[in-house]
Structure 1
Amino acid sequence: MNRPARWIWIVALVAGIGAALVLAFVLSLSTAGGGFYERHFVWLFWVNAAVAALLVLVIGVAAVRLVLRLKRGKFGSRLLIKLAGIFALVGVLPGLVIYAVSYQFVSRSIDAWFDVKVAGALDAGLALGKTTLDALQADVAGKARLAAERLGDSRQPSPLVLERLREQTGVREIALLNHSGQILATAGVAPGSSPPERPPTTLLRQARSLGVASQIEGLDDEALSASDGAGGAPRLRALALLPDASIRLSPGDDRFLMVVQPLPRKLAVDALAVQAAHGEYQQRALARDSLSRMYIGTLTLALILAVFGAVLLAILLGNQLARPLLLLADGMRQVAAGDLKPKPVFASGDELGGLTRSFADMTAQLADAREQVQRGVDQLEGARTRLQTILDTLTAGVIVFDREGCIDTVNPGATRILGLSVAAWRGRHLGELPELEGFARSVEQRYEQLADRSELGGDHWQDAFELARPEGVTLTLLVRGAPLPGEQRLMVFDDITEVVSAQRSQAWAEVARRLAHEIKNPLTPIQLSAERLQHRLESKLEGSDQALLLRSVATIVAQVDAMQRLVNEFRDYARLPAAQMKPLDLNALANEVLALYGQAHDRGQLVVRLTEPLPRILGDATQIRQVIHNLVQNALDAVSERADGRVEIGTARSLGDNGELRAVRLFVQDNGPGFPDKVLKRAFEPYVTTKAKGTGLGLAVVKKIADEHHARLRAVNMHLDDAPESPVTGARVSLSFSLLAPAPNPETDGGPATASGDATQVL
């Protein structure tokens, strides 16, 4: 046993012996009566207080040590305090029960030393006397009120009337008083006797406020020991306010009727005797209270000693029980912090020692399992990193949906293709994006169809969708979908807009080449044959026949010329030469082309807004002139039927977010009817036109030239107040050239290149 344990056992033993001695002392003196306690009450009280203070001090020191241990953060302090509290509670509760029983026993035993019946009889007698006096006082007050009511009916309050009232009420004396209590008339006063005394002022105030008031006078030892005179005998006095105002001498002059009735002397003597006996009995009971307090104080001291011993034993037993628990709790804390090193074992053969050994074995197994899990996590993280790298580098868009159909994973390719920050919508449905609502419904239908035919062996689906963007661009997406484990869904899509456009352009180029080859050859013989027929037959025919011949030949020649022009346009579209990239001034090229539209410019139908200066671009001058010409001509054709038709052509700089020059933009806009929706989606495809006599190759050629120059081509309808649901106010076509030429060096380049000498070749 260590030193603290021995010290605790010693103190507990001393406390137990002290409690036993105190109880033996109390029992030995319990039969000696209360005199000893009464004589030595003061010093016994202070001895008990000193012993209790000493015990409280020891317990306080132990509590302070536990609190300081807790504040220093020493591990296990809370557990020690809890165990000490539990064991102390186990010791204190029985002690409190015994204390309560002993308290009741001592109290009842001391009460039994006194005659309870006598105390009850005295109390009952005192209550009876008080009740009798109250009844007599109430009776005299009632008689005074009755006499006042009868006197109020009489108009002449003479002594005869007062005597009659005295006889009717059966009182000893009756008197009429004014508002200050002065006696005006009396009845029933014995001859030679002094008149009744004036009532006290307090009694007058009570009678004035309540209507009637009464009191008992002369009920004390001095009055009873005096002579039987009127002034010394006990009596009952009552005052009643007269209700009838007719007997008042003046307004506000109240009158009172006073009734005096003697109190039986025997009743007064008995009442004073009962009161004196009751007071003496109470004084004698004070010794009983001091004796009871002494016994209770001794019991309290014994309880404190018992609690002290219980607390010390609680600390000792709690320490012995807490040591393996603290060892186990410290090991758990280390494991919770991630420390899986070998843990110490408590050397004992009981269940707690076995628990620490089992915990040490479990910790070793957890360490091995964590190493295996860490290796698996490292492998999984490596695989995930590789997969994420692959997804980030994919040009195709990838979106993974969770089991609720919400967006879970998005790669940068999806954001780039859709032009939307889809990653910001993780945890939400794809259809919640207003721009992708229809696309999301179509995709959901494909997944439902795949689920319906999954029993037939279908494990994925593939389809092409057209997605309209707000800026007027229509994307063609090739989408592939498949289910994933865990009820997830995978969607992979590519932007095949350029591929589809290129395929269509290539197909149309092949069609144009074959049509030009097949149609061009017979056109010249047809025209020559028609002209030869006219030459041979014109002179032989007359009148209507000759006119019919001329009209027919003119029709054949005109249609052959139209077919020839169509064939030439198809040939030009199919055989568009490769662009020869050179530094060009876009404003200079625009001015060269616009010189051909001087008449439209003079009428105010064509407005030019060129930004100066513009950086040079890399391009083919011939092809860009053709682009400007086609766009301006299409715009003028769109407003030809409007009196207020207006076409605007301009150039501008396109700046990035940081203010850096990003591209040079050319735009042509008009206030015509705009593009129909079905035409806007395929405006740059061959043979798509809104003109009655057009071939639909103008914008197709512009698209092909834009692709050659890596320029971004856009066609949109303009709306009133820029609201998509508002009416269309015109159309706008723009090209953004991102291939910019380096700034010219006047010393080596000899000035900016404009290629103005080639203007006549295109126009």
Structure 2
Amino acid sequence: MVAALKRAPVGLIFMAVVFVLLLGSLVVMGDAAQNSERFERLYVWVLLFNSLALVIMALAICVRLLRVSRQVIRREPGSRLTAKLLVLFVGLSLLPVTIVYYFSLKFLDEGIDSWFDVRVEKALEDALELSRSSLDLRVRQHARQTELLARELVDVPETLAALRLRDMRESSQAQELSLFGANNRIIAYASGERVQRLPVLPAGEVLLILSQGNTYTALEPVYESGLHIRVVTQIPSRDPTGDGRILQAVYPVAARMGVLADSVQDAFSDYKAFAYLRVPLKQSFNTTLSLALLISVMTAIWAALYFSGRLVAPIQELAEGTRSVAAGEYHKKLLVTRNDELGFLVGSFNSMTATLAATRDEVERSRRLAESQRMYLETVLQNLSSGVITLDRRLTLRTANAAAAQILEVDLERHLGRSLEEIGQYSRVVETFIQALQGRFNQREPEWTEQLTVFGASGRKVLMCRGVWLSYGGGLRGGPVVVFDDITTLLQAQRDAAWAEVARRLAHEIKNPLTPIQLSAERLQKKLQPHLGPEEEQVLRRATHTIVQQVEAMKAMVNAFSDYARPPAMTPSPLDLNRLVREVVELYRHGDSPVRFTLALHESLPTLTADAGRIRQLLHNLIKNGLEALEGVSGGELELATCCIQDAQRNMVEIRVRDNGRGLSEDMMPRLFEPYVTSKHRGTGLGLAIVKKIVEEHSGMVWAENPAGGGAQIVIHLPLSGPGSLHVEDSDVREVV
């Protein structure tokens, strides 16, 4: 019981207490209406209490009605159902209560009017008169009897008065006889009771009646033992001057007669009281009945509000829970507080949300697993050196990794969802790539391999492509996946290795006989010169000079072969690249040189870790190659520039050597850095090949291009010694020497 009260809402307990107090006050009002004294004392206070309690109930009902109306206006879940239940409950309670109230008022008015019938009043008056007449007869009889006894005591002396009174009492059947003298002096006393009491002395009004010559008779309670007839009379005296004596007699009244007389008297008194309170009584009963009606109606309204809210509360919770589930909160649990169908519905909702939460968690785990696998595959793809692209059946680009964008020289992330033909409009490499693989795409071979050559901004590229068409379950076929590698460097390395082997053999086969040839020619000149005439001596000198000169040229070529073929012996150290560029350019300054040198050096160029000797040789080869390209060009200009750049993976130092000559031919561009490729009549074709080798020794990149302003340009990227060196101010120093 205590636990149930603790769980009960405070509002319900408060209203229950108010309802019980109102019922108690109604009981008090009904009881007060039965008694005029209580009616006057309690009725107003009870009415005030009921009015105050009804006001409190009305306020509570108004608060709940206001809350329900706001919920209906805001269209909260369950509000309209609450309003319907409220109207239904109130209607069902008002109709029978109103009918009962109407007929109760009618019967009450008619019933009260029937109480005060004239015949009833006449009967009560007659009964009262009958009882009074009967008692008056007995009183008169006892009065005459007492007067006779008083005459018998006229000549009785005081000494014999007690004996005489005893005999007279027994003969008259009186309960008590008392003889008083002057000043209420008790002369004699005779009583039939076992307990002897002092007689009741006559009062002043009794003595006054006696002094007038009358006998006092009265029906009054004596000794708290019921009604008795009391008779007091004066004893005649023969001596006019003597003290008058008084005889007092007390006669018992039959108990039954007394009860009946009291009953009739009480009934008549009550009837008169009710007759006096007839209109207030009607008003009191009507007010009490109206209060009972109001209490019943207001209690019914409050109960309808409360219990409709309790009935709809699970539905509101279900609606809120449904909204939460719709918002993705699958772990929401509703409190099951009932054991009925609504409680079963709430429990079913909790089971459903638990199932949904478990399913969602499983889906989320699967999604995370798929996402982790996708990220893993994406990370693998992004870190692959091979380019990977996936297409759909309409050859629309779906995915591409960074290597594919680098090889095809276009930002493929910006073109996802476009066809390869559309992307080809932005990239020459992609256009060539599509044209080369269009036949493979049209044939739809399950697997294929293709080697193709494309041309981009950095020159010719050789790509090894491998493709496969994806297939799904049910025989459905998806789009192709193309994996391709830029094998230009690999092929170039293979050619470089072959040329290095050739160079080693040539250096070995050619350099060995060159020295004997030179020595033999010089010895012939020395031996034959004294024995020849002037003309023959001149011919011998020219021939010997030619042989020695060609041998020196052959030695220079063999030394170049040796430089290209020998393995690198790197001695890297911190290098100030700008300073090295200035030192090398200073060696080519000539007062009569037609070529003008321009230096555009980054003022805050970071320190480069490199082999100073190899970098110096690289600069010599590039400057020499540029000077040879500017032969016969008026106003020749050779520009050397350095700057800092940053690609996707590391910080780099860029070296650019540009001339304003005729530029490079397109057919020579792909093979420019291969050995023995030259456009000069006296060139060996090893200068740029050695430059490329030195750059690769330093993990850099080199390529040639024809800039928009004309001429040719060699671009070299060398990695810096560490990250963070790139945070320098962007300022260049331009020098003309």
TM range (shorter): 0.3 to 0.5
Which is greater in Rg?
2
Query: 1 or 2 for the larger relative contact order (CA 8 Å, sep ≥6)?
Result: 1
TM-score by length of 1: 0.46
